Structure 1
Amino acid sequence: MARHDFDPATVQPDGRPAAKATLFNAAGEGPWRGSVPGLDLQGPVTVLAYGTDEIGVGPRLHVHPYDETFIVVAGHGRFFVGETVIDAAAGEIVLGPAGVPHKFENLGPGRLQTIDIHHSRTWIQTDLEEIA
């Protein structure tokens, strides 16, 4: 299906060059595989890669002053966003709105792998619970 949502003549490039950065080393260890601040690419978002093979494990409860979008790349996760609980599987996306505390965990079986998009040029976070 061809798309024609806008007239390209109405948008002028802002002069930024195309850019590239490494998000993670595919052979790397640990759940936090890497992050790329939007500042490094002169872009509007910061991107993180997270993954774990441990069932029931995930980032602790935290909050951001901006939206965060979670893309489930592999596995099954349970997302706690404010008072809402959302189960999501590979290919699904979850939104954590600005100012709403959130966390997620691996439901299994197998690995949970996410790409987390912080709608900010830098990663800004306040943790609301300690590591157990």
Structure 2
Amino acid sequence: MRNDFDPATVGPDGRPPARERLFDPAAEGPWRGSIEGVAMGGAVTVLAYGTDTRGEGPRLHVHPYDETFIVVAGRARFFVGETTIDAGAGEAVLGPAGIPHRFENLGPGRLQTIDIHHSPRWIQTDLE
């Protein structure tokens, strides 16, 4: 059992619970959808990415904030600055702010990720 803080020391901040559609499961293409944190009154933006094609993935890009990648299914190779990290389903990878990064499907089969941008808005510069 976790007991990291005293709940009596934190009160509601007035934001209501919220719901948004992240992606349509029947949609085609690798970019399934995104929800900016501002849409839900939150501090993070969430993206869903998936591809069945080995070697396919987002182009090299950079953000002014951290990005956390969660591999939901399959295997991916992440290129984060000068570091290469292979990760599989159930693992997470951090792309620190200001470090160019990309990833690709290692196969076989589908790669599905949830990408968490540590910002209420999606801010990105593509480098390729």
TM-score bracket, shorter-length normalisation = over 0.9
- What is the identity, as a one-letter code, of the residue corresponding to 1:119? H
Query: For each residue in 1:61-106, what CA deviation from the matched residue of structure 2 results, as whole angstroms up to 9, or x when unmatched?
Result: 0000000000000000000000000000000000000000000000
Indicate the percent of aligned positions where both proteins have the same amino acid.
77
Letter in 2 for 1:71: I
Partner of 1:47 in structure 2? 46
Taking the aligned partners of 1:45 and 1:119, their CA distance within structure 2 comes to: 5
TM-score scaled by length of structure 1: 0.96
Deviations 1:42-61 (A, max 9, x none): 00000000000000000000
Q: Hey, what does 1:56 align to over in structure 2?
A: 55
Q: Deviations over 1:1-32 (max 9, x none)?
A: x1111100010110000000000001110000
Equivalent residue letter for 1:49:
A
Question: 1:74 maps to which residue?
Answer: 73
How far apart, CA to CA, are the structure 1 residues paired with 2:23 and 2:115?
Answer: 13
TM-score normalised by the chain length of structure 2: 0.99
For structure 1, list consecutive stretches of 5 or more residues without a partner in the other structure. none
Tell me, in whole angstroms, the C-alpha distance in 2 between the residues paired with 1:86 and 1:13.
Answer: 39
Q: Flag structure 2 segments of 5+ consecutive residues without an equivalent.
A: none
- State the distance in 1 between where 2:116 and 2:4 align: 24
Q: Secondary structure at the match of 1:23?
A: coil
1:32 aligns with 2:28: no
Q: CA RMSD in A?
A: 0.4
Aligned-partner residue type, residue 109 of structure 2: G
Secondary structure in 2 aligned to 1:105? Answer: strand
Structure 2 residue aligned with 1:125: 124
SS at 2:33's partner residue? strand
